[in-house]
Structure 1
Amino acid sequence: MNEVYLPYFDPDFDNLPERINGPTCRVCIDNESMEDCTVVKVDSVNKQGLLLEVVQVLTDLNLTISKSYISSDAGWFMDVFHVKDEHGRKLTDHKVINFIQQAIGTTRGPQNSAKAKTYANMVFSPEHHNEHTAIEMTGTDRPGLFSEISAALADLHCNVVEAHAWSHNDRLACVAYISDQCTDTPIDDPNRLANIEDHLTMVLRGTTTPNPTGNLSCSQQEVKTAEFLGGEGTMTNVERRLHQLMLSVRDFERPSGGTTSLPMMPTGPECDEEGRKTTVTIDSCEERGYSIVNIDCKDRPRLMFDTVCTLTDMQYVIFHASINSNDGYAFQEYFIRHIDGCALSTKSEKERVIKCLEAAIERRVCEGVRLELCADNRIGLLSDITRVLRENGLTVVRADIATQGEKAINAFYVRDISGNQVDMEFIESMKREMGPIVLQVKIETRRPSSPERSRFSFGYMLKSQIERFSHNFITIK
């Protein structure tokens, strides 16, 4: 019998392409080079949006980026980040370090991959994103609108598992995850979803009035209640989606002619207490065909994510960048081209990019009071809390709602409907009168408040009304 000889393959050839060209992505985490921060180095084959993906991994872990150097010419992405944890220290948690390596794509192996996936779910991929129905809403903001949305969902027998809402320049964007009140399962009946959409649209359209001065276009005033997603979620990062929704309703255009529904706060290029302005400028680098975007503003968490997210979603490619923060201020420099390969050539295009970046910087900043409440979760809790706030003259300008087990954790940024800020004396009075119901309160403003506002016995009113439906609020640690 003739023997059959199969060709021989040297096992070393299996990884030959990687040994010649290097892996598609390498991540190095260095705790030795710098005394006060961890250095994260990323080398990878470049693709559009890769920088945003890397920045999103770091910011989702609540890491602060103090410096960054970016280069992605010739199809190769090279980046260096100087990062600290939320306490301002180097990264020492091996789970965090391993997850960064796994998420950005360097370490291989089934065991490590499984660990990274588990940690990712624990950090920023709550299970209910895949188990509940997602709703997106945009429209013109007005005092009490978030409270009305919460009440409408309660009337429709929907349980709000998680919700995030931003308001800026008289626009509102909201992403909510809901479930059926009775079964706590996703709502997938088309007729019921259509009813929910129609009901919410009616609530949002309460802001629609003829506006000859052009606050919003007619088509935008029709209000978008966006995708209802059941089962396997397909939404992108929630904060990125909020940026996209705000951009879609042109929140970079300031309300004109005093037509705002909420008293405006000083934002954007207004001076801070030291007289320094937020500035965004665009220059040209003609010899290389780049447009150079310069941003000089007060530093804050997630600032780089917000600016990179906006440039990416506006279809601009970042080829080089330098990020630096010092003494509470940040300077960012981006060398960009449009995705079609062209630099910014017209004055109108440059002005639009400047306005959109200013809006991206402003959206997350809320002047006012941050209230954090934790309680045993139940149907209608969010509606009750926001109603009490509204009835006592406060409007929600930003909200982050979540559930952890049987607890509901609600964080609200609130302002007085008249535009006045609530001063510390007023807050302390409120906390004293709350008695056994305890709030976590944080002041987010340095502006002086109206002395008349602090005379209100808000704490007594809030306590008496909240006690009707909850007796177990606790401070968030």
Structure 2
Amino acid sequence: MAMKGYLDEYEKLVIRMNTPRVVIDNGVCSSATIVKVDSPRGHGILLEAVQILTDLNLSIKKAYISSDGRWNMDVFHVTDINGNKLNDQSVLSYIEQSIETVYYGEDIEVNGLTALELTGTDRIGLLSEMFAVLSDLNCDVVDAKLWTHNGRVASIIYLKDCTSGSPILDPHRISNIEGRLKNVLNGDNNVNSAAKACVSMDVMTHVERRLHQLMFEDRDYEKRSKRHERDPMVVVTVQNWAERSYSVVNVHCRDRTKLLFDVVCTLTDMEYAVFHATINTSSDQAHLEFYIRHKDGSPISSEAERQRVIQCLEAAVERRASAGVRLELRHPDKQGLLAEVTRTFRENGLNVTRTEISTSCGMATNIFCVTDA
């Protein structure tokens, strides 16, 4: 019994030592709330902290990331979407509690829904055809996100059965849904489209991180055409600092929400560790500098790898920065609503570049970024 008590106390000590410590200060800076995070080094811990802040639609105006041996010190200067300091105590408490539990990989699981992952070649009317197929198959779209970049499209769609309201689990029905959607994604028998449509087994991964992963797996970063020119406002450089065995990555672009998340997400999923970083924003511009290594401690080792990092980070910045007009539609949810709305876009020659679909309490909120064909 004495040994068991000793082990319990030791386990509690280990938990306390490895739990991130969060300090939130509203008095030091006149223009932003300071969020300081002390945490043990671990792959993905920085990304999780940034994810929590950006999921609250907070703007990260400045950030300083520093690693000392096995410990990290991260400092974020954050404001709300209107540029104000954070004064809502419930928001401050949520930030503190969420970051302090993130070390243990706690995520929200999507229950009662079937998740579909789709990738393929983008074209006008694609979204309309996808939602028409799902409506025809008696599928209710509860939530969805779709990104387009460099002529490619990636989407995650959460479904349930229209009649029963239950998740779709029947293997034959799932196979039919996947097959019909893949035919739509393939378009006019385009064998080179490399379309994919499948039920997601990775429901625990953050949706926007998963979209980055789908685009990365689809190699959207290297598929450019004259119609999809690189954004000249996005400048990425990578140099090696041989004396310290770091690769130094600089990103300069227009500032926007979730920019830091997109860049850190890509570096993390490419298996790079961020040891030091400085993020500064001024007016509508952002400058991000990262000192990175591979997880094994080595810097970038070849010109081909350097170019690949540049391409992938350019793509990470561009994916969410879709051009076009942002339209938001709120309407009581009903079967076929999305098919009707997106058919209107198609019939008027409008291309949908980004989509966010959500439903709550019988009300659908649909956000579309649209451009001329």
TM-score where L is the length of structure 1: 0.73
Shift of 1:82: 0.5
* Counterpart for residue 99 of structure 1: 94
- Aligned pairs for 1:51-70 (under 5 A) are 51-70=46-65
Larger radius of gyration: 1
The CA distance in 2 between the partners of 1:405 and 1:367, in whole Å, is: 31
Q: 2:302 aligns with which of 341, 346, 352?
A: 346
Larger relative strand fraction? 2
Query: How big is each residue's C-alpha offset from its partner over 1:73-126, in whole Å with a ceiling of 9 and x where there is no partner?
Result: 31111110001111211111111111111111179xxxxxxxxx9xx9xxxx5x
C-alpha displacement of 1:415? 1.0
Q: Secondary structure at the match of 2:199?
A: coil
The alpha-carbon distance between structure 1 residues 42 and 148, as it changes in their structure 2 partners (threshold 3 A), is same
Q: CA deviation at 1:284?
A: 1.1
- Which residue is 2:212 aligned to? 243
The reply to whether residue 135 of structure 1 matches residue 116 of structure 2 is: yes
Q: What SS does the aligned partner of 1:186 have? A: coil
Match of 2:285 among 312, 329, 345: 329
Please point out which of 157, 173, 177 is paired with 1:192. Answer: 173
Say whether residues 1:222 and 2:194 are aligned partners. Answer: yes
Q: May I ask how many residue pairs the two structures share in their alignment?
A: 369
In structure 2, what is the equivalent of residue 393 of structure 1? 349
1:39–1:82 Cα contact (<8 Å) kept = yes
Q: Does 1:402 align with 2:358?
A: yes
The Cα offsets for residues 230-255 of structure 1, whole Å up to 9 and x where unpaired, read as: xxx72311111111111111111143
- Given that 2:124 and 2:349 are in contact with CA atoms closer than 8 Å, whether structure 1 keeps it comes out as no
Per the alignment, in what secondary structure is the counterpart of residue 299 of structure 2?
coil
Question: SS where residue 344 of structure 1 aligns?
Answer: coil
Q: Counterpart in 2 of 1:253?
A: 222
Alignment of 1:167 with 2:148, yes or no, is: yes
- Which gives a bigger RCO, structure 1 or 2 (Cα 8 Å, sep 6+)? 2
User: Structure 2: which 5+ residue stretches go unaligned?
Assistant: none
SS in 1 for 2:221: coil
Matches within 5 A, 1:5-404: 14=9, 18=13, 22=17, 24-105=19-100, 129-206=110-187, 209=190, 218=192, 221-228=193-200, 234-256=203-225, 258=226, 263-264=227-228, 267-268=230-231, 270=232, 277-404=233-360
Could you say what secondary structure the match of 1:105 adopts? helix
CA contact (8 A) 1:138 1:225 kept: yes
* 1:330-362 CA-partner distances (Å, limit 9, x unpaired): 111101111232211111100000010001100
Aligned pair partner of 1:413 in 365, 369, 372 = 369
Q: Secondary structure of the equivalent of 1:252?
A: helix
Name the CA distance, whole Å, in 1 between partners of 2:319 and 2:270.
16
Q: SS of the residue aligned with 1:331? A: strand
Q: Deviations over 1:360-413 (max 9, x none)?
A: 100111211111111111110000110011111112111111111111111111
Q: Is the alpha carbon distance of 1:9 and 1:153 closer, same or farther for their aligned partners in structure 2, counting shifts above 3 Å? A: closer
Judge conservation of contact 1:142–1:207 (CA < 8 Å) in 2: no
1:143 and 1:10 map into 2 onto residues whose CA distance is: 65
* 8 Å Cα contact 2:148/2:319 also seen in 1: yes
Distance in 1, matches of 2:42 and 2:280, equals 24
Q: Tell me how far apart the structure 2 counterparts of residues 9 and 359 of structure 1 sit (CA, whole Å).
A: 53
Structure 1 stretches (4+) deviating beyond 2 angstroms?
6-11, 13-19, 21-24, 207-210, 226-229
SS at 1:131's partner residue? coil
CA change 1:349–1:207 in 2 (3 A) is: farther
Partners of 2:115 and 2:203 within 8 A in 1? no
Q: Is the 8 A contact 2:114 2:199 kept in 1?
A: no
Equivalent position SS for 1:142 = coil
Amino acid at match of 1:285: W
Paired position in structure 2 for 1:425: none
CA distance in 1, matches of 2:3, 2:152: 66
Contact 2:26–2:33 (Cα < 8 Å) also in 1? yes
CA distance in 2, matches of 1:364, 1:335: 24
Say which SS state the counterpart of residue 130 (structure 1) adopts: coil
Q: Deviations over 1:105-156 (max 9, x none)?
A: 179xxxxxxxxx9xx9xxxx5x8x2111000000011111111111111111
Q: Is the 8 A contact 2:20 2:39 kept in 1?
A: yes
Deviation at 1:182, TM superposition (A): 0.6
Q: Which amino acid aligns with 1:372?
A: E
Using the aligned pairs only, state the percent identity: 48
How many Å separate the matches in 2 of 1:10 and 1:180? 51
* TM-score calculated relative to the size of structure 2: 0.93
CA 28–393 in structure 1, closer or farther in 2 if over 3 Å, else same: same
- Distance of 2:338 and 2:204 partners within structure 1: 23
CA apart distance, 1:208: 5.1
